[in-house]
Amino acid sequence: MTDSDEWLEAIKWDAQGLVPAIAQESGTGKILMMAWMNRDALRLTRASGHAVYWSRSRGKLWHKGEESGHQQVVRSIRIDCDADVVLIEVEQKGGIACHTGRHSCFYRELDATGGWAEVDPVIRDPQAIYGRA
């Protein structure tokens, strides 16, 4: 650990060395997505000014927008009162944060019948973004 990494020690990492990270849109305050970060992801996010996450399914760092071009430019990085959640205020490039082609990953809302209603539209077909469904 270098002196410049001391800020990472304030974070309460889970048993796998991860912390949940919430991406919030600068200006609107809208929650765009939640992902996981490890120390390297958070360190790279700070150093590069672009959001970098840890993909649990792929077991590797994931630079947001590396395939889609929908990068997240970091405006600020915060931690909550318990230091166990990171909040990243971002400028969402391309207006799409979700791999489903929507602005936000939180596009389903519990309705009065107890079902999940899709309340936000697909902005761009994911197959057109990623070349696969």
The ranges assigned to domains in the chain are: 16-130
Whole-number pLDDT of residue 133: 46
Global pTM reads 0.90
Q: Which CATH homologous superfamily contains domain 16-130?
A: Phosphoribosyl-AMP cyclohydrolase (3.10.20.810)
Q: How far is CA 110 from the centre of its chain?
A: 22
Please say if the pLDDT value at position 1 is more than 50. no
Whole-number pLDDT of residue 106: 97
Q: Which of 11, 132, 2 is nearest to 67 (CA)?
A: 132
Whole-number pLDDT of residue 5: 87
Phi, psi of 127 (to 5 degrees): -65, -35
pLDDT band at 132 (very low <50, low <70, confident <90, very high): low
Whole-number pLDDT of residue 131: 79
d(CA 75, CA 16): 27
Please say if the pLDDT value at position 126 is more than 80. yes
Gap between the terminal Cα atoms of the chain: 41
Each residue of 2-60: pLDDT tens digit?
Answer: 557 899 999 999 999 999 999 999 999 999 999 999 999 999 999 999 999 999 999 99
d(CA 43, CA 130): 27
Each residue of 84-110: pLDDT tens digit?
Answer: 999 999 999 999 999 999 999 999 999
Whole-number pLDDT of residue 4: 78
